[in-house]
Amino acid sequence: MRASEVLPANRVPGLMRRFRRRPAALVSLVLLLLLGALCLAAPLVARLLGTDAETIDLLGRFQPPSLAHPLGTDELGRDVLLRLLYGGRISLLVGIGGALFASAIGVGIGILSGWVGGPLDRFLMRVTDAVIALPLLPLLIVLAAVDLAKLGLPLAFAGGATASVVRIMVIVALFGWTTVARLARAATLSVKSREFVLAARAMGAPPARILRSHILPNVAAPVVVATTLSVGNVILAESVLSFLGLGIQPPLASWGTMLTNAQELIFGSPALAIWPGLSIFLTVLTFNLMGDGLQEALDPRQSRHI
């Protein structure tokens, strides 16, 4: 059995022990799991409350918290808790999906650049530098405002609410892969000159097998950390675009669209802005703290203290 097949399994218990030694990261992981479970249980909560997130009750506008409406109602009499849970589904989907999509692009470019080297490496890194130099927020605003129907996409899809979710994930991913690409390239350059990679090459192992068995496992640690840290940034980007009216479109709700609807009611009903704002803040904070904990747990130097 090769050493590369034994080491990852042996490192898992140590990784878990090091991660558990970071209380902030552990609490963040628990909070994220709890938040995700609540968002997934939104239909169950709706059945328990006897309503749904889109039920309009103009006679029940701006109700205070009660057993029927634990967080009260909004300007249309809709239950705030249910809209918060369903909005969390969309915000978390965009954040996690966009971060994973960006990481996939970054890993592909980074490994290709580091493995092949030469002119291709220089070209890909110059492209990476060019993307980093772009003004991100104005560019996101312009791309989010593009009419998809005029790009030749079917009108049924381009005019639907689902298209807004897919578009934001794609836009964020197309400009958020640079950090992962640099990390993957650096890890690839470091690993491909190691003795076990040189031995595999000398034994005639095909490049695809070397990449799968030796390069990818060593690239995984920094990529996982970078992906975790980028989820919060993607959620913030979605919230900004939705706040400007260019993000998630009705009838879908997200925390950003909830803030948009609450901006004119901030003085009369501040809770309508506090709840989605607090959700965004806690989610971004917990993802960042969990990413920091993963970074320290995956650091090989930490194994000396175990």
Q: Is 15 within a domain?
A: no
Residue 73, φ and ψ in degrees, nearest 5: -125, 165
Predicted TM-score (pTM) of the model is 0.81
Token output for 119: 């002119």
Asked if the structure places residue 131 within a domain, the reply is yes
Amino acid at 43: P
What pLDDT was estimated at residue 142? 82
Cβ neighbours of 137 (radius 10 Å): 11
Q: Quick check: is 283 in a domain? A: yes
Burial of residue 173, with CB atoms counted within 10 A of its CB: 0-12 exposed, 13-18 middle, 19 or more buried: buried
Angstrom distance (rounded) from CA 199 to CA 27: 43
Q: Could you tell me the two tokens for 283? A: 């989610």
Query: Taking a C-beta distance cutoff of 8 angstroms, is the pair 85, 38 a contact?
Result: yes
Is 115 a domain residue? yes
pLDDT at 4: 42
- Spatial CA neighbour of 261 closest among 282, 243, 283: 243
Number of domains within the chain: 1
CB burial string 95-113: b at 16+ within 10 A, e below: bbbbbbbbbebbbebbbbb
- Residue whose tokens read 């989820």: 231
Distance, CA of 211 to CA of 191 (rounded, Å): 10
- What is d(CA 82, CA 51) in angstroms, rounded to the nearest whole number? 9
Q: What DSSP assignment string belongs to 172-231?
A: HHHHS-HHHHHHHHHHHHHHTTSHHHHHHHHTT--HHHHIIIIIHHHHHHHHHHHHHHHH
Is residue 298 included in any domain, yes or no?
yes
Angle, vertex CA 96, rays to CA 219 and CA 36, nearest 5: 125
Q: How far apart are CA 269 and CA 274, in angstroms?
A: 9
Residues in the chain: 306
Beta strands in the chain (DSSP E): none
Residue 255 lies in a domain: yes
- Residue 194's domain spans which residues? 22-305
Distance separating alpha carbons of residues 136 and 133, to the nearest angstrom: 8
Q: Say if 4 falls within a structural domain.
A: no
Q: Answer yes or no: are the C-beta atoms of 25 and 290 closer than 8 Å.
A: yes
Is 7 part of any domain? no
CA-CA distance, 61 to 235, in Å (whole number)? 29
The number of angstroms, rounded, from the C-alpha of 65 to the middle of its chain's C-alpha atoms is 31
CATH code: domain of residue 212:
1.10.3720.10
> How would you write the pLDDT of the chain (306 residues) with one tens digit per residue?
344 433 444 455 566 777 677 788 888 889 999 999 999 999 999 999 888 888 888 888 888 898 888 998 888 889 999 999 999 999 899 989 999 999 999 999 999 999 888 899 999 999 999 998 888 778 888 877 776 666 666 655 555 667 778 888 888 888 889 989 999 999 888 888 888 888 888 887 788 888 887 888 878 888 888 888 888 888 888 888 887 777 787 778 888 888 888 888 888 888 898 999 899 899 988 988 888 887 777 665 544 444
- Rounded Cα–Cα distance for residues 177 and 229 (Å): 12
- Phi, psi values for residue 88, rounded to 5°: -65, -35
